[in-house]
C-alpha cells in the first residue's frame, strides 16, 4: 500500500515538474520575443523620430511623438516585469515544487479535493491551481495540525472542512525522497531533519516546518501592538519574517515594502536574514539598526550609553515645551551657502508675530510660512543688487518664484524642513543640561516641527528587550500610523536600563491601544542537553514550560582551567574538534580583553574575528562578541570566558550566560581561565 502511494505521488510530482519545465521554456521564449520586439521598436524610434523644435507647433508635435513612444516602452517594461516575476516563481518551484498535501472535503456529498502546498502559487491556465501558496487561507488547515472537522477563514468568513489527509514530502526537484502522513508536526521527521542540518552564514525560511504555535503568530489578525514573548531558539525571528511575507500576501494590492520597517540588532544580523524574504518571492522591507535610524532622521550625533533618565526626560520635554518663551538662541541664522539671508534675531521677530501659539509644532509651522515669504523677498533683492540693470528683464511672478526656488533652494529648503530651529539649545533649556541624548534631541525636534513618517504601516522590532523605553517612545511618535510587532525574550536582556515587558504592556494601556501577547515556549534550535543547560538559568515557573524537540545529542563540556597553558591548549583543542564537523563554530567572548588575549596566544592558529560590519564566514571557526551573536545560531559554540568577571552572579550575568549558551544547536563547550562563573552548575 505504501509503495503504491509512493508511486502515485512520484507520478504526480513528475507531471507537475514537467509542466513547470514547459512553463519555464514558454516564459523564456515570451521574454526573448518581447525583448526582440522592444529592440526593434527602439531602433524604429531612433531612425524615424524627428527632434524638431523650430517653432511652438513642431515642438508640440515632437513632444507628442516622444510621449507615444514612451508609452510603448512603458507597456513593454510592465509586461517584461510581469513575465520575469512569473519566471522567478517557476524557477523557485523547480527547486522543490511543493512540500505538503492536504485532502479536504467541504461537504459529505462532495468528493475529496487535493491541494499541494508550496512556497508560491502557480496555475496552469490562470485558475486551476497546480500548487497553492503556503499563505493562502486554505493552507491554514495544514498548519493547524487538526485532522477531521476543522476550518479556515477567508476574510471574516469561517469555512468548515473535513481534513482527511495531512501529508508532508521530502523532494529534490522531480524526485520524491520520502513522504509521511502526520497530525502533530512536532513529531514529524521533516522538522527533525531540518533541525539537524548544519547551519550556514544565512538564515533559512521555515515555511515547510512552521509549527502550530508559530502559525498562530504568523497569521494573527492585525492589532496595534503584538508582543511575541519567546524563549531562546523558539524561532522568533523566523516567525517575524514569515509574518512579513504573510502580510505582503494578504495585502498584496495595498502594502508596499517601503511601508514596513524592520528594526534589527546590527549589520551582521541583517546580512544573516537578508535572503529569507527573497526566497519566498518577496522584497525585503526597510531593514535598519538604531544607529542607522538616527542617521536617516538626521540626528547630529551618535548613540552612547543607555541613560536611565531618558524616558522621564521625554515626558518633561512634552510638558515643559509649550511653556517655553522663545529666545534668539533657540534659532539659527538662515543662510544661502555662505550668504546670510536672515539673522536668528530676525527669525525670533517672526516667531513673536504668532505669540498666540505656544512653543511647539503649530507655532513653528505657521512661522515657517512667513519666513519663506520673507526669505524669498530678501533673496530677490540680493539678486537684483548683483544684476546689471541694463540687462534686467521683467518676469512673471510665477517664473520669478521658480527661478528663486532653483537658484536659492538651500535656504528655502532649510526653512521648509525647520532647520532654522536650534533643537539642541531648546532641549538643553528644558532639561537644564548640556548633554542631550539622541532620543531627547529627536523627540524635541518632533514636538517642535511635527516631523514623522505617516507612510509607515508596520514597524517590527526584533530583540525588543534590548531597547529602552525612550527608544520605543521615539518610534511610537515617529511612526504614528504604524502597527507594532515586538519580539523578544526578557531573559536575553544583556544591558542595564532596557525596557521590561510589563512596561511595554503599560505603554499600550496608556495609549488605549489593543495589546496582545503571544508565547513561544518550544526550543527548536538546541539539543535537549543544551536546552536543559540554559533553561536552568530561568525562573522556576518558566523553566517548567521549556521543551526541546531535538533528538538527544552531545553532552555539554564544562572546564575551569588552572593556568594560561592549560586554557589555551583546551581552547585550541576544542576549536580543532568542532571544526572537524560540518557547520559553523562560534567562539563567543563576553570581554574584549578575551579576544585580544586569544589573538596573542593562538597567533596564526587564532580564528578570524567577526566585527560589527562583517558577514559571517561560510564555514569554520570565528570569534564574535556576545552582543553581535544575539539572534544568531551556530552548530558549535565555545564560551571562551565563562568566569565570574564575564558572567557575574547577578540577574544581568544570568541573562548574558543564558543568551550565550542558547546560540548553540549541536555542541557547547564552556571554558574559563580560572574559576567558573557561579551561575554554571
Annotated binding-site residues for ATP read: 230-237
| E strand intervals along 43-112 | 100-105
Burial of 416 (0-12, 13-18, 19+ CB in 10 A): middle
Please choose, from the candidates 515, 508, 507, 628, the residue with its C-alpha nearest in 3D space to the C-alpha of residue 264.
628
Sign of CA dihedral 339, 368, 326, 296: negative
Paired residues of 547 in beta bridges: 522
Nearest-angstrom CA–CA distance, 670 and 681 = 11
Cβ pair 545, 244 in contact under 8 A: no
* Three-class HEC string of 27-60: HHHHHHHHHHHHHHHHHHHHHHCCCCCCCHHHHH
* Contact present, 354 and 366 (Cβ < 8 Å): yes
Dist CA 84 CA 32 (whole Å): 11
Per DSSP, which regions of 129-280 are E strands? 129-133, 148-154, 157-172, 175-181, 225-230, 260-263
Cell numbers describing residue 477: 511618535
CA distance 195 to 192: 5
Please state the residue numbers annotated as binding site.
230-237
> What residues have CB less than 8 Å from 212, skipping those under 6 apart?
143, 144, 145, 185
Integer Cα distance of 366 and 371 in angstroms = 9
CA pair distance 460, 218, nearest whole angstrom? 13
Q: Could you tell me if 61 and 127 are in contact, meaning their C-beta atoms sit under 8 angstroms apart? A: no
Q: Which three cell numbers stand for residue 381?
A: 533683492
How far is 633 from 337, CA to CA, in rounded Å? 51
Instruction: List, as one string, the DSSP characters of 512-569.
Output: T--EEEEEE-EE-SS-HHHHHHHHTTS-HHHHTT-EE-SPP-PPPEEEEESSHHHHHH
List CB contacts of 278: < 8 A, sequence separation 6 or more: 284
How far apart are alpha carbons 99 and 2 in whole angstroms? 18
Q: Give the ranges where 219-360 is alpha helix by DSSP (H).
A: 236-250, 267-273, 276-279, 290-296, 310-320, 344-352
Residues facing residue 485 across a β-bridge: 226, 460
End-to-end CA distance of the chain: 52
270 backbone φψ class: left, alpha, beta (φ>0; ψ -120 to 50): alpha
Amino acid at each position: 500500500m505504501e509503495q503504491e502511494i509512493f508511486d502515485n505521488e512520484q507520478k504526480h510530482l513528475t507531471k507537475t515538474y514537467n509542466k513547470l519545465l514547459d512553463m519555464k521554456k514558454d516564459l523564456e521564449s515570451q521574454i526573448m520575443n518581447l525583448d526582440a520586439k522592444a529592440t526593434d521598436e527602439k531602433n524604429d524610434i531612433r531612425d524615424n523620430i524627428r527632434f524638431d523644435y523650430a517653432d511652438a507647433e513642431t515642438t508640440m508635435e515632437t513632444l507628442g511623438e516622444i510621449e507615444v513612444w514612451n508609452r510603448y516602452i512603458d507597456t513593454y517594461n510592465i509586461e517584461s516585469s510581469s513575465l520575469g516575476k512569473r519566471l522567478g516563481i517557476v524557477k523557485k518551484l523547480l527547486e522543490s515544487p511543493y512540500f505538503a498535501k492536504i485532502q479536504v472535503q467541504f461537504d459529505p456529498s462532495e468528493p475529496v479535493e487535493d491541494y499541494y502546498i508550496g512556497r508560491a502559487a502557480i496555475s496552469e491556465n490562470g485558475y486551476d491551481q497546480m500548487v497553492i501558496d503556503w499563505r493562502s487561507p486554505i493552507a491554514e488547515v495544514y498548519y493547524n495540525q487538526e485532522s477531521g472537522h476543522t476550518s479556515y477563514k477567508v476574510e471574516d468568513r469561517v469555512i468548515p472542512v473535513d481534513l482527511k489527509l495531512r501529508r508532508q514530502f521530502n523532494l529534490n526537484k522531480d524526485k520524491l525522497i520520502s513522504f509521511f502522513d502526520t497530525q502533530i508536526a512536532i513529531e514529524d521527521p521533516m522538522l527533525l531533519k531540518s533541525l539537524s542540518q548544519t547551519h550556514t552564514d544565512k538564515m533559512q525560511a521555515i515555511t515547510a516546518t512552521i509549527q502550530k504555535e508559530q502559525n498562530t503568530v504568523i497569521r494573527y489578525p492585525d492589532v496595534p501592538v503584538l508582543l511575541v514573548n519567546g524563549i531562546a531558539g523558539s524561532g522568533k525571528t523566523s516567525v517575524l519574517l514569515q509574518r512579513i511575507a504573510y502580510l505582503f500576501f494578504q495585502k498584496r494590492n495595498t502594502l508596499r515594502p517601503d511601508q514596513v520597517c524592520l528594526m534589527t540588532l546590527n549589520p551582521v544580523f541583517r546580512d544573516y536574514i537578508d535572503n529569507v524574504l527573497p526566497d519566498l518571492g518577496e522584497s525585503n522591507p526597510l531593514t535598519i539598526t538604531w544607529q542607522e535610524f538616527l542617521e536617516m532622521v538626521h540626528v547630529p550625533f551618535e548613540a552612547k550609553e543607555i541613560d536611565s533618565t531618558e524616558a522621564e526626560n521625554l515626558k518633561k520635554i512634552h510638558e515643559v515645551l509649550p511653556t517655553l518663551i522663545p529666545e534668539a538662541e533657540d534659532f539659527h541664522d538662515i543662510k544661502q551657502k555662505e550668504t546670510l539671508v536672515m539673522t536668528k534675531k530676525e527669525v525670533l521677530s517672526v516667531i513673536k508675530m504668532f505669540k498666540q501659539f505656544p512653543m511647539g509644532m503649530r507655532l513653528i509651522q505657521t512661522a515657517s510660512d512667513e519666513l519663506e515669504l520673507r526669505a524669498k523677498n530678501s533673496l530677490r533683492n540680493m539678486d537684483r543688487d548683483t544684476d546689471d540693470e541694463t540687462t534686467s528683464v521683467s518676469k512673471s511672478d510665477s517664473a520669478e518664484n521658480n527661478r528663486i526656488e532653483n537658484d536659492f533652494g538651500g535656504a528655502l529648503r532649510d526653512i521648509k524642513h525647520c532647520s532654522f530651529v536650534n533643537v539642541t539649545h531648546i532641549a538643553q533649556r528644558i532639561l537644564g543640561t548640556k548633554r542631550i541624548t539622541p532620543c531627547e534631541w529627536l523627540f524635541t525636534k518632533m514636538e517642535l516641527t511635527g516631523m514623522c513618517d505617516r507612510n509607515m504601516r508596520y514597524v517590527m522590532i526584533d530583540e525588543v528587550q534590548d531597547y529602552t523605553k525612550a527608544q520605543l517612545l521615539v518610534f511610537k511618535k515617529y511612526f504614528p500610523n504604524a502597527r507594532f510587532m515586538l519580539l523578544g525574550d526578557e531573559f536575553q536582556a544583556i544591558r542595564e536600563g532596557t525596557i521590561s515587558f510589563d512596561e511595554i504592556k503599560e505603554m499600550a494601556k496608556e495609549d488605549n491601544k489593543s495589546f496582545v501577547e503571544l508565547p513561544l515556549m518550544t526550543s527548536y534550535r538546541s539539543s535537549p542537553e543544551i536546552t536543559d543547560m540554559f533553561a536552568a538559568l530561568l525562573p522556576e515557573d518558566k523553566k517548567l514550560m521549556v521543551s526541546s524537540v531535538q533528538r538527544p545529542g552531545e553532552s555539554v563540556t564544562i572546564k575551569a582551567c588552572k593556568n594560561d597553558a592549560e586554557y589555551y591548549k583546551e581552547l585550541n583543542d576544542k576549536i580543532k574538534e568542532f571544526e572537524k564537523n560540518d557547520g559553523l563554530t562560534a567562539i563567543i567572548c563576553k570581554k574584549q580583553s578575551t579576544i585580544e588575549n586569544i589573538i596573542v596566544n593562538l597567533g596564526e592558529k587564532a580564528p578570524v574575528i567577526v566585527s560589527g560590519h562583517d558577514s559571517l564566514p561560510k564555514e569554520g571557526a570565528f570569534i564574535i562578541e556576545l552582543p553581535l551573536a544575539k539572534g544568531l545560531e551556530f552548530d558549535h559554540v565555545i564560551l571562551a570566558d565563562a568566569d565570574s568577571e564575564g558572567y557575574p552572579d547577578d540577574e544581568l550575568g544570568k541573562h548574558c550566560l543564558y543568551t550565550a549558551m542558547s546560540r548553540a544547536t549541536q555542541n557547547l563547550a564552556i571554558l574559563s581561565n580560572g574559576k567558573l562563573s557561579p551561575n554554571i552548575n
